[in-house]
Amino acid sequence: MSQPTSLPEHENATASICLCHAVLFDLDGTLADTAPDLVAAVNKMRADRRLDMLPLEQLRPLASAGARGLIGGAFEIGPEHHEYAAMREEFLANYEADLCIESTLFPGIGELLDELDAREVRWGIVTNKVARLTMPLVEQLGLAARASCVVAGDTTPHAKPHPAPLLHAANELAIRPKQIVYIGDDLRDVQAGFAAGMMTVAAAYGYCGTDLPPALWHAQHIVDSPMQLRQLLAELRR
């Protein structure tokens, strides 16, 4: 297991008193490998424009950034481009039509969730994916009936890295933020977790779509696999 990253004193204090009464997960790149379906949606846009398909592995690291990341990677444009808004809607429509064709839980995540359930540790999902996509995807992944809360990117007025979605989840769980662990594969997840006063875990096995490596995100813990995450959570419950 990776060693905890060096943190400012107040953040180490938060980590030391966290009792892991609940666990919150990011969705894309943390709980589920959704990149194949996300990449297929943007590749359909390229095909419709008679452009070559791009390989999954080229676009995979951009999946955590959703439409912005994938459209940027496939067409080299950003939200400031005059065609971006229409292309974003096109991408979302493509994705919604084939939401869970190849998406699956990462290997080991199912067993991790089974263990949390067996230990009666409540867990939930906090994602920047909009609700119209989040809710059916969570249902098709078989998680809807099990998750104690599901917070989408438009559940609150702000998305991560703002702490509002995480604080909303804590309120739904009726558990203090300092007793919750948040796990994500993007820098924004760690930033949101810090801002909410939760313990943060960087899922280095995920997409990690940033030039800044997870070791520099200042998460209290870094895990390289769901198995390491399972071991970490077991230790935090002792």
Active site residues: 26, 28
Contact 29, 64 (CB under 8 A): yes
Give the integer Cα–Cα distance in Å for 200 and 193: 6
Give the integer Cα–Cα distance in Å for 218 and 68: 24
Question: Residues 80, 81, 83, 88: what is their CA dihedral angle, to the nearest 10 degrees?
Answer: -50
List, in sequence order, every beta strand (DSSP E) within 111-211. 122-126, 149-151, 180-184, 199-203
Contact 11, 194 (CB under 8 A): yes
Peptide bond into 214 cis (omega under 30): no
Contact 179, 21 (CB under 8 A): yes
List, in sequence order, every beta strand (DSSP E) within the chain. 22-25, 32-33, 104-105, 122-126, 149-151, 180-184, 199-203, 221-223
